[in-house]
Chains A and B, each alone.
Chain A
Amino acid sequence: MILLPVLLFFLNKKELKKSKQVIFLYASVIFLLRFAYTFFFTNFPLTAQIIYTLYTPLEFGIIIYFFHYTLNYYFHKKAVLLSGILFLVYYIKTIFSSPLGEFNSMINGISLLLTLAYSLLYYYEQLRYPSTLFIYAQPDFWFITGFFMYAAGAFFVFLFRESSVSNSEFLTQYLYIHSFSSILRSILFSIAMITKPEKARAPEFF
């Protein structure tokens, strides 16, 4: 499903909006990492574990870049950059202190909370200083809503995954909820990919 926005990006290639390129990169990286993980899982478990470990920092790095580019206000940009770098530093520290390839609920929970916070910053900016008449006519709105819905949907399953790894009922539930969140995100990204940005600007503040 994550390939859908990638395909739609190619279909709308004429319009090279930077945020679309970043999401194209994001979706491609997620797809390739998942594919590589599945590919190496049986025969090369160590490589698969390394890929698994790299997944979160790569994904979150692109998210930081996306929000840093999309947000308009200097303070917000700096807050995203600073919190993102701090998170990545903390993540690298935990790599050495915990077994390779093991799911860390706290780290993933924090990354989702940060994504939620960044999305709220974007929504705040749009409320405080609206830049367009119809917010949903902007691709960025759909991209950020995709991140927001995914983070909101996956937050609780990520939070309990580490402690409930032996609970088969939970794992099924995890699969359903996580898949639902991922599909929702892909659909919202796809809407963003086919949305043409509105030309008319909102009136300036006076």
Chain B
Amino acid sequence: MFLLQALQSGNVTYVVYFGTFGMLFLAVGLIVFIVFHQRKVIYYQLRMRNMQADHQRILLQASLNSQEEERQRLAADLHDDAGPLLATVRLYLNENLIHQDPATQLQSIYNAKQIVDDTIQLIRNISHSLIPPTLKNFGLESAMADLIQKINGAGSIHASCRFHDYTRRIKLEQELSVFRILQELINNILKHSHSSFIHVTQNKTEDHIYLRVHHDGEGLTQTEYEKLRDVPNGLGLKNIHSRIRILNSRIYFDKDATNTYFKVTIELPIDALM
């Protein structure tokens, strides 16, 4: 208002002084703001990068722990089961060297053979736990059908599985990761959810493959999943997250619109197919 009055009265010098002062004041203010704000942005980015590095470290640690656990389990299986069996066979064979009676020898050899058969079965079981032969030979659909059959065999929960469009298989190494994720999800449902059914489905669009696990028990939402996967203890969700990242895919935990069941969706890119 003052500036307008000054201008009307022809007193330009006031307008110029105030205008110039105002412009310079604004310019200096803007530059100071930019310097500080830019620094804040950079620090924020650095903090985000550190957080991401920490997160990566946690995932790597989880992956190492998981490997270590697997190794310990294998060592325990071999030491506690295969070791005593083979030691027993050795005993029977030693007995053969001491007792020359053919009937005793025959019995001893028969017993040793029985134990060797058991050992072969045991080693096969260990091997199957590393990579299920059904998955390797017939694919994810058959491996899931096997898993579902085993769950149904226990009788406490009703499980079903339906693959709508799985004519082309996912690449083997990725298929194993997907199977492990589904196995972990189902394992978690069995352990924690108290649900009465589990239903696994597979669908495909032009760009993605979708695998969904539905259940009617207590489940996780996306926020809970993201929170729990970053807590230091517990490996399951970290392994899922780690595998999802390796697969270059996404996972969504949500509740159905009707609020009757929980749903976990794995979204894989279409180029994961063979």
Contact = CB atoms under 8 A, between A and B. Distances in A.
Given A149-B24, A153-B24, A177-B20, A123 B30 contact: yes
Secondary structure class of chain A's binding surface, majority of residues: helix
Interface in A86-126: 123, 126
Contacts of B17: 173
B15 to A, nearest CB: 7
A66 interface: no
Contact of A202 (B13, B23, B27, B45): B45
A118 B30 CA distance: 14
Interface residues of A, number: 30
Q: Among B27, B45, B52, which residue has the most Cβ atoms of chain A within 10 A?
A: B27
Interface in B20-51: 20, 23-24, 26-28, 30-31, 34-35, 37-39, 41-42, 45-46, 48-49
B34 A173 contact: no
Given A156-B19, A164-B12, A134 B34 contact: no
A173 B13 contact: yes
A130 B42 contact: yes
Contacts of B46: 203
Contacts of A202: 42, 45
A68 to B, nearest CB: 21
Nearest to A122: B34
A127 B35 CA distance: 9
Given A202-B45, A203-B49, A157 B38 contact: no
A135 interface: yes
A127 B34 contact: yes
Contact of B38 (A130, A159, A169, A173): A130
B34 A126 contact: yes
A157 B16 contact: yes
A157 B35 CA distance: 28
Contacts of A160: 12, 15-16
A159 B15 CA distance: 11
A152 B23 CA distance: 5
B168 to A, nearest CB: 33
Interface string A122-155: 0100110010011110000000010011001101
Contact of B39 (A134, A167, A174): A134
A170 B12 contact: yes
Given A123-B34, A135-B34, A173 B16 contact: yes
Contacts of B34: 123, 126-127, 135
Interface of A: 123, 126-127, 130, 133-136, 145, 148-149, 152-153, 155-157, 159-160, 163-164, 167, 169-170, 173-174, 177, 202-203, 205-206
8 contacts: A127-B34, A130-B45, A133-B39, A160-B16, A177-B20, A202-B42, A205-B45, A206-B48
